[in-house]
Structure formats: C-alpha cells, structure tokens
Structure 1
Amino acid sequence: MEFNVVKETTYRVKSVWKTLQGEGLFAGRPAVFVRMVGCNLWSGYADTRERDAARTGANCPMWCDTDFTKEGSRAYTAAELAQEMRSVGGDVRFCVITGGEPLLHLKAELVEALHQAGFFIAIETNGTVSLQEACWNEEENRLEAPDWIVCSPKLPQEQLTLEYFDELKLVLPDYHPAKYSDFAQRQRLNEVQNNQLPLLWLQPEDGDRLHQATQMAINYALDNPEWRVSVQTHKILNVE
C-alpha cells in the first residue's frame, strides 16, 4: 500500500537576529529580524549588478548592499522558524520580515504560526508581489496578512501590485515622490491623537550620493510637509 506524504513547506532564511528597528515609525523598538533569501530584482551577487538592472529596469542592483544570497542560509518549517525567533528574541514579540523580497516566500501558514507565537509582524517589501498572491489562506478563503507593511518601491508605480501599505519609503535620488503620487494613495492611514498620520518617508541613499540625496530629501520635505526625512538610526547607533 502506498501513502501520499505531504511535504511541509519550508522557508529559506539567511539569518535571524535581535536588534533595534532602525527606520520608520518603529525606529528604536527592539525587534527580531528575519532575512529571507532571494529577490526578484537582483541576484545578490556583485557580478550581476548591471545585468539585473538592465533586466528588471530597477536601479537598486547598482547600489544595494544587503546580503540575501543562499550561502549560509537554512530552511525552516513555519513552526521551526517561530520557535527560533522566540529563542533569539526572548521577550521581544515585534518582528520584521525582510529580504531580498520577503513576499516571494511569506505564506499564510507562516503568518498564522508567528501570530500564534505572539508576534506582531512587520514586513519590508518592494511592492512587486501582491498580498493576495502571497498570503491567501485557501482553506479558510481569507487573507492572512502581516500586521504592518513598509513598502520601498524600486520599479515604476504602474508595475507595483501590492494592494496597500502602512509606510512608504522612497530612496533618493533614484525614486522621487512625483513618480509615485498614485501609488501613495494605497496607504492605510493610521490615527495618532485623532489625526490621520501619513507615513511617507524620503530615505537618502547611503553611498557616494549621500550628501546630494540628503539635501534633496530635506528640501522636498520642507516644501511638502506630508513627507518626512528617514534617518537610519541603526547605523548611527552602530547596530546590525
């Protein structure tokens, strides 16, 4: 007699670590970070930067410094990853799922497992993968979405499929607010002291163009006060 064995979904993870969230509304908050392997805009290897930029039309392969390659990664089931995050994080129950592009991997079962483990789930995405595609629960016919979504788009707004987000972060000088005015309308507005709070961030690129990008961000925010300048506090504090 033959039995059909259902293989449990695994998630390829580069690293899990406890640190402080460095950017956005939750800057300074202790967090468990989970870096997923892989991105749909860049391979992660230096010798493919120009090729991937030409292939995708994104500028980020030319300056991205994040290591999300498969070397040194590990596969976890949803339950194993939740346990690892609790072990690494101790009492911390705020987590940030990042990449690469985390929505290439994040599924409803992992969201459910992390919620059951007590985590508030934030993700950082480039906006090219829809929540419906990534996190739909087929059995219960509903969306099992993360609690907080930060989008940092790297393609033109007409190519973005993310249905909504909580924070929008544009990396200057390559990604300018004028080119994302329609996409910015997908933001879920959150209330603080009975006022709707637009969390629209201008992030100066941390590289050779830092001075130029910083001045551009400051000038734009002063003229358009619904936008804020994002400061990478984790680099100031020298934490990973």
Structure 2
Amino acid sequence: MLKINEIFETIQGEGVFTGVPSIFVRLQGCPVGCPWCDTQHTWEVEDENNIPVRDMMAKSTDTAMWSAMSVSDIFSTLEDCGYTAKHVVITGGEPCMYDLNELTTALNQDGYSTQIETSGTFPIQCSMATWVTVSPKINMPGGLEILASAMQRANEIKHPIAMQKHIDELEQLLAEKPAQPDTQIALQPISQKPRATELAIKTCIDRNWRLSLQTHKYLGIE
C-alpha cells in the first residue's frame, strides 16, 4: 500500500517535461527537511491522518491527510476522474521511501510514461522505463546522504539554487558521485528570486546546463 497525499491532473511546470500534461501522484512522508520546501504538509506520516480515498480526492487545501492505496486503487481513481494525460509524475514527500516497481511497471504497461521526482537520498526502485529526476538535497537538516546509485540512475539532475554555494555543492557532488554522461543537468532558482535566477542563467550558459523555472507558479496552477 502506498500513502497518497493527493492525485491531480495539471501541466508539468519544471525540468525536461515542462509543458507536458501530467497526472501527479504525491506520496506522504519525507525526512529530508528542506527549509524552502513548499510541500511541508507531506513530511509527517501519522496514522490518525489516514482518510478514505474519496475524502483525500476531495481536499481543497494542502493538508497532511493521506490515503492508503494499492496500485489497483490508483488505477480506479484515474479512471473515475476521467484524466486524459498520459504522463504520470510520482512525487512527494520523498517517493523513493517506497518501492515503486509495481506502480511504474503497471503504468508503463497501460501506456503511461512515468517520472519520479526524488531527493536522491533513498534507493530508487522503479521500472527501467521511468524517467528519474534527482533533485539532490545536499546538507539538509535531515542529515541524509545523496546516494551514488541515485546519481547513476538519474536521467535528469534538477538542482535548486539560491547562491553560488549551492552551485559549488552540486559540482562537488558530481565530482564525487558522477552521473551518466547523457544525464541532463538543470538549475532551478529557489522561489524565482531575481538574484538566484540571474545566477542560474549565467551558470547554465557557462556550463551548458539547462535552466528550469517553476512555470506553474508563474501560471498560477497547481
């Protein structure tokens, strides 16, 4: 059973798949503790917050309430909602706290492309066809180490930055735990702050990396 905080359909706003219609499956639970996290309601997993699926799907605000769902429950929910997007983004929280092999394999077999957004601090268990976006959370309060295996599995490394220190940390991480040669690297300014955006643009040009903007925040969508 997977602990699901929310399921919704929208446009992917970040990274390589920016602009792609997507179904987001957000899992509950995360021990990383990023200070700027905009989904802190997904951090804690309390049994008293386990609610029926229909109530979870009816939530109108961000809360720590979640539902325990099987893969078949998730498929039934997608069908009941009539979603038309064929790209599924599994996020959190920290989705790789869970074994996602069954879910991603079933989605791929049913014609969906799949993507996982992870901090890189847990082993990545998913289908080979799944696009893995590692957003490495370096020196966070949770004290968790970025796994070399996660960096090797990453199709995309999307790193949030606010200052030069964050770029230096990424370069050190890539030197110590290299990614695959074809892994795409993107910098994402934290909270779209002007100085962070300017630094990200300059660095992307200098390193031939990509710029990732949180376009869903500009558009005012989820």
Structure 1 residue 205 corresponds to structure 2 residue 205: no
Q: Which residue of 1 aligns with 2:70?
A: 77
The AA in structure 1 aligned to 2:205 is L
Q: Which residue of 2 aligns with 1:194?
A: none
**Is the contact between residue 5 and residue 42 of structure 2 (CA under 8 Å) also seen in structure 1?**
yes
Q: Which residue of 2 aligns with 1:63?
A: 36
List runs of 5+ in structure 2 lacking aligned partners: 46-63
**2-side partners of 1:78 and 1:184: how far apart?**
33
**Is the contact between residue 127 and residue 153 of structure 1 (CA under 8 Å) also seen in structure 2?**
yes
CA root-mean-square deviation: 2.3
TM-score, with structure 1 as normaliser: 0.72
The AA in structure 2 aligned to 1:12 is K
The AA in structure 2 aligned to 1:99 is G
Higher helix share: 2
Shift of 1:188: 6.2
Q: Which residue of 2 aligns with 1:165?
A: 154
Shift of 1:219: 1.9
**Is the contact between residue 157 and residue 185 of structure 2 (CA under 8 Å) also seen in structure 1?**
yes
Secondary structure of the residue aligned to 2:18 is coil
* TM-superposition CA deviations, 1:118-167 (whole Å, max 9, x none): 22110100111122xx34xxxxxxxx345201010002697324131111
List runs of 5+ in structure 1 lacking aligned partners: 1-9, 43-59, 136-143, 190-197
**2-side partners of 1:76 and 1:233: how far apart?**
30
Corresponding residue to 1:27 among 1, 12, 18: 18
* Aligned structure 1 segments of 4 or more residues deviating by more than 4 angstroms: none
TM-score, with structure 2 as normaliser: 0.77
Bigger CA drift: 68-77 or 157-166? 157-166
**1-side partners of 2:70 and 2:94: how far apart?**
18
Shift of 1:84: 1.4
**Matched residues, percent identical?**
34
Corresponding residue to 2:175 among 171, 179, 182: 182
Give the count of matched residue pairs.
192
